[in-house]
Structure 1
Amino acid sequence: MKGITEIELTDVRTGAKEKYTETNLVTNVMADFFSHNINGMLFTIEGNTNDLNGNMLPLCKNAIGGILLFSDTIEENPNKYYAPSANPCVGYASNDVNATTNVMRGSMNLTETKKLDHGYKFVWDFTTSQANGTISCVALTHKWAGIGYMGDGYNGTGSIWVMRSRSAGSSGQARTAYINAVEINPEENYFWTIGINTNNELIIQKIRMSFTAVGLNDTMLGTNYDVLFEIKLNPTMFVMSNPSNNEGAYDFFDGKDGYWYGFWASANKDGNANLCKIKINKSDFSFTEERMILNGVRSQAVGYHGGYNTNPQRNVQSVLQNGYLYMVSYDKTKVYKINIENAADIKEIPLGSATAYSCNDDYYRSGSIYLANLGDWIVGSDFRINTEDKVFRKANSAPWTYTSTPLFQYGPYFFSFGGYYANSTRQNLFLWTPYLATINNLETSVIKTADKTMKITYTIQEE
């Protein structure tokens, strides 16, 4: 595909016009959408269907039906199709007319937008109050991302599309392995899972799963329990006081630095939270343990696990990113950013008002997810935090249906496991819609101000 962008600013006082024209780079996100069929989730193997018509197809006005405007340029790499969180999005628009008072969102010009031979001509209009700021990059995106980008005060769900949710009855051992997943490897068709049994043994397993290759006996329903490797560790600190009860306020995370980390901390309203940490080397499974006193910290629980090999449950209540653990405060008004190697390095990130701290809405079954990593964003149900610790509030929404694990990214998708009633596993596939289908860096940044309207004409054609 080849695209040309024309941006026209009109001064409403003088009628003077400024025009900027640039060509774009097309990313691989559309190719990866159709080729990255993780665990066959795009197929109707059993149960509900998945209708791409009107959601993705035709590409123009659906999968490519929105526009995003960024303050800074974006690396022109076809394999990186999400903007860094620190790059401010100053405006967006979808394939419809903005009927809200949202000043970041423009409107599609339904009269001038039209299908072309081997292509499409998009036209978007922005009033004097909309998308004001510096614009250095323009990108085509999914129509839903053009409604609210990563979520705003008007919209909280548009950044995620629940592509598929598949369930199947399975053994307690299989359900435990899926719900305790900490890392997946789609290219090599396995995942790692960590849990604590009723003997206070920490069980690490490598489980085969047909993410990108199908074996002769695979059903792809989530019933297989093919253990490729297992090791048992015997920690002394990271243990339950009553292991037969088999539940605790802990969770395990992939540090993406050659280690898995476990953290244990109950909800604390009195301050000086006690955080137990275990650090496990992925290569030889050696581990270290320590207790960290978090001065002044009053937090929600770090997570929850229970029901090993019987009725497994898990709550994902914290996230680990770039060596920092993010935990919501007990009163829900801030997020603690905790250096996992230095208990004195703690930052409070005020949210402005209390978060709803909600999860899964009506789809709560055997677990839930309260916080998630989306690229380099930290995302709650009604807020998101970028790498500069800046908070953006959004309409409250918890789109993670039947989700009991972290979200594992593969291309433009996020994959998760969950529980469903008493004896079923759940596999979930989400599409993260604010992708960059194109990247169009402007040679000269456009300064949009409140005395100017803006018209963007984006023509994209097959070569």
Structure 2
Amino acid sequence: MRKYSGNLVLELTDENSGTTETLTETNMVTNAVNDILGINPLALFYKVAGEYDEMVIWNEELLPICPNMIGGILLFPSALTEDANNLYPSSSNLPVAYASNDVNATANVQRGSMNLTESMALEDGYKFVWEFTPSQGNGTIAAVGLTSKHGGANAYGSSAAVDTGLLLLRQNSLSLDVSWLNVLFRTVEVDFENGLLYSIAYSSSTVSISRYRIPVFDIGLNEKLDDTTLTLEDTTVLQCSTFSFYGSYTPYGIFLDGGDGYWYGFSNQSNSSGDSTMLWIKIKKDDLTFTEGSWTLSNAHLKAVGSFREDSSYPNTQRNAVVRNGYLYVLGYDDDGVYKINVSNSTDVTFISFGFTSEAKSICTSGSCEARLLMLKDLIIGYDFMIDVNDNMIQTYGGTRTSNLATPLFCYKEYVMGWGGSYGNEYRYNYLLTPYLATICNLSQAVVKNADKTMKITYTLTEVVEST
């Protein structure tokens, strides 16, 4: 395992006076690169299945490490926790500026450019030089981190280009019976460390919770490395008296991991006026006890939280809701905002306005599997907006962000996974979440970059030779 050392020089030059403010700092290195090179969840880097599987080409995309796997920079308005496992700061501290390993030819004013003449490989490392014009990268800067070239392009998204920072590492074609597709597409949680997958289904006033073994980091004597290798360990059926899925031909409902020791189920039908009725179930993970009920949400105009319809050939799914920190977020019927509903107190309802009329399209194109609301870490992402953990609405360039997803995005370290597809073409998708922190460098004092100043950052990363 190689070790690295970094040194940063940040120069702010006032265009009016010509004076330059210079800060020199050293950094700490995170586990980001060693994670990417050292772990292989679900054997995603092994070619084990059909000829139509797609896999990332490492050279040029990720290697050499500099300037690819490490080839961008992120600048933050608040200090970062100095921890080797701090790969993704909270969305309360989204980057105020960033840059990749190229010249910024876009209208994105948060993004600077690499100086391609001064940046170069060194005998024992790499010298990065980034420059920001007076109009670029303005704001308070308290911390800096190296990231991937993809993470430095648009971070999690911008007003100038489509990007969620997801790099497709592998796309596995699923040649499975539809009953197995239903199991995978109903996945509500993947426990990577323990190799467990939880799939939840509703049918005829019952909720069925199935636990499967999935070979994430180890493989049994009789297992293969594909999505047929799911071993059912347990199924628990809950008999409901109140909770159900609305609808008949298309059952309207969704199951979500609350991240708080509970799974939640919700069901409603879209309503353009009046009050909204929401059926709900709350399931405790450790003993599968549950509570259920019905809410009447006064003057709330909601899209259906989601739907799941079984088909003879493929499942049909839609996702319009997520749960974050004890609140259900649901898209508004009129595409003008999101409703935030306290899962423990349904009178606590807030409407978060977009401030614009969203196109409200699927994040993953149109098809038999669609998602209009997803969550990455603690950041909620839609077609043309993001909502940070403090419920700040951030308008972004509209566009599709992923392939057709039926499930939530399941995250493990830098890796993101989900299942989905469209009209008989089904896949498992594995992504790299690229705006990771490869280094952390807190400034000894925060600086303010404004439209009167240019900024130049020289970041030298070198290999540390340890004596034996």
Same fold by TM-score greater than 0.5 = yes
| Distance in 2, Cα, partners of 1:203 & 1:425 | 23
1:258 is the counterpart of 2:264: no
Structure 1 residues 242-289: Cα deviation after superposition (integer angstroms, max 9, x where no partner): 7xx564110001112221110001111113110111011212222111
What is the total number of aligned residue pairs between the two structures? 458
Query: Helix, strand or coil: the match of 2:37?
Result: helix
| Distance in 2, Cα, partners of 1:107 & 1:430 | 26
Q: Is the 8 A contact 2:171 2:430 kept in 1?
A: yes
1:280 is the counterpart of 2:276: no
| 1:6-85 matches, cutoff 5 A | 6-46=9-49, 47-85=53-91
Query: Helix, strand or coil: the match of 1:54?
Result: helix
| Distance in 1, Cα, partners of 2:109 & 2:406 | 36
Aligned equivalent of 2:138: 132
Return the offset for 1:63.
1.2
1:405 is the counterpart of 2:378: no
Query: Helix, strand or coil: the match of 1:60?
Result: helix
Which 5+ residue runs of structure 1 have no aligned equivalent? none
Aligned equivalent of 1:340: 343
Aligned equivalent of 1:157: 163
Structure 1 residues 383-410: Cα deviation after superposition (integer angstroms, max 9, x where no partner): 1011111111111122221310001110
| Distance in 2, Cα, partners of 1:248 & 1:325 | 19
Relative to 1, partners in 2 of residues 1:8 and 1:418: Cα closer, same or farther, differing over 3 Å? same
Q: Is the 8 A contact 1:108 1:122 kept in 2?
A: yes
Q: Is the 8 A contact 2:56 2:168 kept in 1?
A: no
The one-letter amino acid paired with 1:239 is S
The one-letter amino acid paired with 2:222 is N
TM-score (norm 1): 0.95
Query: Helix, strand or coil: the match of 2:128?
Result: strand
| Distance in 2, Cα, partners of 1:146 & 1:205 | 40
1:459 is the counterpart of 2:460: yes
Aligned equivalent of 1:290: 293
TM-score (norm 2): 0.94
1:299 is the counterpart of 2:302: yes
| Distance in 2, Cα, partners of 1:400 & 1:172 | 23
Aligned equivalent of 2:373: 371
Structure 1 residues 166-188: Cα deviation after superposition (integer angstroms, max 9, x where no partner): 02222233111101011111121
1:358 to 334, 357, 361: 361
| Distance in 2, Cα, partners of 1:174 & 1:451 | 60
Return the offset for 1:420.
4.9
Query: Helix, strand or coil: the match of 1:396?
Result: coil
| Distance in 2, Cα, partners of 1:439 & 1:207 | 38
Q: Is the 8 A contact 2:364 2:370 kept in 1?
A: no
Relative to 1, partners in 2 of residues 1:66 and 1:183: Cα closer, same or farther, differing over 3 Å? same
| Distance in 1, Cα, partners of 2:37 & 2:271 | 46
Q: Is the 8 A contact 1:144 1:158 kept in 2?
A: no
Aligned equivalent of 1:442: 443
1:230 is the counterpart of 2:231: no
Aligned equivalent of 2:430: 429
1:381 is the counterpart of 2:387: no
1:202 to 207, 222, 231: 207
Structure 1 residues 214-237: Cα deviation after superposition (integer angstroms, max 9, x where no partner): 222322221234211011111122
RMSD between superposed Cα atoms in Å: 1.8
Structure 1 residues 351-407: Cα deviation after superposition (integer angstroms, max 9, x where no partner): 111222222555x55422221111111111211011111111111122221310001
The one-letter amino acid paired with 1:300 is K
1:221 is the counterpart of 2:223: no
Aligned equivalent of 2:334: 331
The one-letter amino acid paired with 2:344 is E
Q: Is the 8 A contact 1:162 1:399 kept in 2?
A: no
Return the offset for 1:308.
7.7
Q: Is the 8 A contact 2:246 2:267 kept in 1?
A: no
1:322 to 299, 311, 325: 325
1:98 to 100, 104, 107: 104
Q: Is the 8 A contact 2:364 2:371 kept in 1?
A: no
Q: Percent identity?
A: 38
| Distance in 2, Cα, partners of 1:226 & 1:30 | 32
| Distance in 2, Cα, partners of 1:48 & 1:240 | 36
| Distance in 2, Cα, partners of 1:241 & 1:132 | 49
Q: Is the 8 A contact 1:174 1:224 kept in 2?
A: no
The one-letter amino acid paired with 2:284 is N
Q: Is the 8 A contact 1:255 1:323 kept in 2?
A: yes
Return the offset for 1:96.
0.9
| Distance in 1, Cα, partners of 2:334 & 2:457 | 44
Aligned equivalent of 1:395: 397
Q: Which deviates the most, 28-37 or 296-305?
A: 28-37
Q: Which deviates the most, 387-396 or 45-54?
A: 45-54
The one-letter amino acid paired with 1:236 is S
Return the offset for 1:32.
1.3
Q: Which deviates the most, 405-414 or 94-103?
A: 94-103
Query: Helix, strand or coil: the match of 1:297?
Result: coil
Q: Is the 8 A contact 1:173 1:309 kept in 2?
A: no
Q: Which deviates the most, 25-34 or 215-224?
A: 215-224
